[in-house]
């Protein structure tokens, strides 16, 4: 441990919560309106079902529920939070942000709240951003929320995309705590963010206020995304291991973005992470974009797999492209 690492601030996870809409749409349900089969979807993606938001539920509704659950888990209220970061690509409105709506929903009239937009990597970008604020000492406790209603952005006649996504939200509370700064101490140990805008047209929405004055639909070259995904996410995980002097064998849990079972399995295999350490929820939630990691974390914390002191790797890749990783001592 170097002198500089002493008495530093670490962003420690002190609460987690999630929310899934009640309505479940199975692959069999989709067979009724699309030329698709349960077998095709399961074989290519691992997905069996997805949750879809009710008409009166918005991204902010889902995010607020997840935030309330995370605060309850932490034994805190909105009064104790001074930063809210919401990762989303499906905001209720172009503006104001989902974060300010959740802030109001929590009865908070202090602190700062804003959205980050990095598509499926949004939660990792949100954690990394909150971590910088907390490490600097400028803020004490942050809610980092991933919340999405991707069902509203899909072309439900396009079988190549609409079968892949779902709605939901997850949230964590991060608290700045004094730390000795070793890899054994709790908190976000390191985070690594990347982006490369040359890949714009492989995964994008074909609308927006400035480009088309409309909302548009999600478009994806699935094969192209697949081709890049494994290399990109394993690169940033290798960066996290290198920065902390840890390796795949040190991980207790690997909680990747839940887009596709084959991408998850291939990424774990490439780094030599054993399958029993991989948390997979894509089969139940489908791809909920920025919400997928906190939803998976909430499942694994809820069923007792992730425990205080465990070493947890999160990673994601999404439109842009954007990709990133964060290594957390839970």
Q: What is the CA radius of gyration of the chain?
A: 19
Compute the half-sphere exposure of residue 10: CA atoms within 13 Å on the CB side of its CA: 23
Using CB under 6 A as the binding rule, whether residue 203 contacts ligand ACO is answered as: yes
**Strands 141-149 and 83-87, sheet pairing:** parallel
Least distance in Å: CB of 5 to ligand ACO? Answer: 35
Q: Is 257 a catalytic residue?
A: yes
Least distance in Å: CB of 11 to ligand ACO? Answer: 25
Site string for ligand ACO, 222-261 (x = CB under 6 A): xx-xx--------------------------------xx-
Using CB under 6 A as the binding rule, whether residue 160 contacts ligand ACO is answered as: yes
Exactly one of 162, 257, 260, 301 is catalytic; name it: 257
Exactly one of 139, 217, 287, 301 is catalytic; name it: 287
Residue 200's SS3 state is helix
Q: Which residue is nearest to ligand ACO (CB)?
A: 222
Least distance in Å: CB of 210 to ligand ACO? Answer: 21
Q: Is 27 a catalytic residue?
A: no
Which of 319, 324, 328, 330 forms a contact with ligand ACO (CB under 6 A)?
319
CA 30 distance to own-chain centroid? 25
State the sign of the Cα–Cα–Cα–Cα dihedral 174, 175, 176, 177. negative
280: closest CA among 307, 261, 304? Answer: 261
Which residues fall within 8 angstroms of residue 320, CB to CB, at 6 or more apart?
118, 119, 121, 195, 196, 197, 199, 200, 203
Q: Is 162 a catalytic residue?
A: no
Which of 11, 18, 45, 246 forms a contact with ligand ACO (CB under 6 A)?
45
Compute the half-sphere exposure of residue 207: CA atoms within 13 Å on the CB side of its CA: 12
Helix residue spans in the chain (DSSP H): 27-31, 38-45, 59-74, 98-105, 122-136, 159-162, 222-244, 261-271, 282-285, 292-302
Q: Of the two residues 280 and 287, which places its CB atom closer to ligand ACO in the complex? A: 287
Using CB under 6 A as the binding rule, whether residue 324 contacts ligand ACO is answered as: no
Contact 290, 123 (CB under 8 A): yes
Stretch that binds ligand ACO, among 19-27, 41-49, 171-179, 305-313 (CB under 6 A): 41-49
Site string for ligand ACO, 118-147 (x = CB under 6 A): -xx---------------------------
**What is the CB neighbour count within 10 angstroms for residue 246?**
18
Size of the site for ligand ACO (CB under 6 A): 23
Using CB under 6 A as the binding rule, whether residue 149 contacts ligand ACO is answered as: no
Q: Phi and psi of 128, rounded to 5°?
A: -60, -40
Stretch that binds ligand ACO, among 65-73, 100-108, 157-165, 184-192 (CB under 6 A): 157-165
Least distance in Å: CB of 71 to ligand ACO? Answer: 27
Which of 25, 36, 42, 155 forms a contact with ligand ACO (CB under 6 A)?
36
Give, in degrees to the nearest 5, the angle at Cα 238 between 271 and 256. 65
Q: Which active-site residues does the annotation give? A: 120, 257, 287
Binding site residues, ligand ACO, CB under 6 A: 36, 40-41, 44-45, 119-120, 159-160, 163, 203, 222-223, 225-226, 259-260, 263, 287, 289, 317-319
């Amino acid at each position: 441990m170097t002198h500089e690492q002493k008495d530093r601030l670490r962003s420690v996870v002190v609460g987690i919560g999630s929310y899934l809409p009640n309505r479940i749409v199975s692959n069999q349900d989709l067979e009724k309106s699309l030329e698709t089969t349960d077998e095709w979807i399961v074989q290519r993606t691992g997905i069996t079902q997805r949750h879809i938001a009710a008409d009166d539920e918005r991204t902010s509704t889902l995010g607020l529920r997840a935030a309330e659950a995370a605060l309850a888990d932490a034994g805190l209220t909105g009064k104790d939070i001074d930063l809210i970061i919401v990762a989303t690509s499906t905001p209720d409105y172009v503006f104001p942000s989902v974060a300010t709506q959740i802030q109001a929903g929590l009865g908070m009239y202090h602190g700062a709240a804003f959205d980050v937009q990095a598509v499926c990597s949004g939660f990792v970008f949100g954690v990394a951003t909150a971590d910088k604020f907390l490490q600097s000492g400028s803020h004490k406790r942050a809610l980092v929320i991933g919340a999405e209603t991707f069902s509203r952005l899909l072309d439900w006649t396009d079988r190549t995309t609409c079968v892949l996504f779902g709605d939901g939200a997850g949230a964590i509370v991060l608290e700045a705590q004094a730390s000795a700064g070793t890899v054994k101490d709790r908190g976000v140990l390191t985070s690594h963010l990347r982006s490369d805008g040359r890949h714009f047209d492989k995964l994008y929405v074909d609308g927006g206020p400035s480009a088309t004055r409309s909302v548009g639909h999600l478009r994806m070259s699935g094969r192209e995304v697949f081709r890049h995904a494994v290399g990109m996410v394993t690169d940033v995980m290798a960066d996290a291991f290198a920065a902390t002097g840890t390796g795949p064998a040190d991980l207790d849990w690997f909680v990747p973005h839940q887009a596709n079972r084959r991408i998850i399995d291939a990424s774990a295999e490439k780094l030599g992470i054993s399958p029993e350490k991989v948390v997979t929820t894509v089969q139940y939630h489908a791809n909920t974009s920025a919400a997928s990691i906190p939803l998976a974390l909430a499942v694994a914390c809820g069923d007792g797999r992730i425990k205080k002191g465990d070493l947890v790797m999160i990673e994601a890749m999404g439109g842009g492209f954007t990709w990133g990783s964060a290594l957390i001592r839970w």
